[in-house]
Structure 1
Amino acid sequence: MEIGRSSLGRPFRIRRAMPLVILIGASGSGKTTIARAIQDRHAESVDVFYFDRVGVPSVEQMIAEYGSAEGWQRAMTIAWMIKLAQPVKSGGRVLFEGQTRVSFLADGASAAGGFSYLPVLVDCDDETRSKRLTVDREQAELATEDMMNWARYLRCEARRSRCEILDTSSLSLDESISYVMAKLR
């Protein structure tokens, strides 16, 4: 068992296989595509939740209500982890996906009374991310240097936290699904 640290410096355990797998990553990494495919193919055995279902307010609203975009992201991650605690503690297999930080997940698990989960950074190289955002998703406005920097930040945090990294740059969707499903067993 490995130890990671929350944003408040609290230690948390990272196990390799468990009922809650959390896919994090920057836009274009493949995390939502993987989660949707698992929901379509394994709905009878895995509950899938999406961070963005809470709605994403404007940056101005985030700052007004939470002090910063980071403050909003942390607060929403904690709220999600509290919500996810019930199906996890009831023995269900749960997949959660969204753009958040590994340290915020630990804060949320702690706020929910503590439970085990496996964070997996879904990542890809910048060229692949840019192609997915501009060509596949037709969202060229997301293929910015800021997004590439966010991806690099998440990659560094994942490495520091010893979080698993799933590089989807050259994997098929089926290979990515198999990887995640193996972690949920």
Structure 2
Amino acid sequence: MAKSMAMQAKPMNAPDDGEDLTPEEEKQLAEAMKVAQVIIHGEGQTGDQIAAMIKDAEDIAKGIGNAIATVIIAVSKQMEFSDDIKLIFAMEIFFELSGLAVEAGALANDEINDQFIDTAISQAYSAYISTKEAMGELDVNELKQSVEDATKEGEALGIVPKQGAQPAAPKGLMQRAAQGGM
């Protein structure tokens, strides 16, 4: 199987965390992407809703972020997959949706820079947490662990600044999670 887009798109100067996906995680990621492809490219209401989230957003990066969260939640309702692959899965979806936005002329390739990626992924994280909270599926301890794991994964992939720099997720959300005050 070819390497995933997220792995191919890893910046050359990004630190290598030395951790590859296990065969089981690779299988989960591949299956999750198959489901995501149906959701994103599906005929009818689902595909149209994903496209509208991006097309109708004032800020296309935030629109892509909202669409990423929607796809992750929809996929997680159809199949189980490890929390360990959610950030990689989010990046895969980001590249898929960004590519579609470029093809549609809503976005230029040169607009996809670090700031754009940071905005989209931060929005995806916020929208995911907000939606899980609204669905009554948010566990504060799980959130704390999720923030820690996402930060470590993001640092390893070079998409989140190292500790001490500005975090990718909204600061207030991370502080509340760290304090257990959700």
Q: Greater share of helix residues, 1 or 2?
A: 2
TM range, normalised to the smaller chain?
Answer: 0.3 to 0.5
Q: Greater share of strand residues, 1 or 2?
A: 1
TM-score (norm 2): 0.36
TM-score (norm 1): 0.36
Higher relative contact order structure (alpha carbons within 8 Å, sequence separation ≥ 6):
1
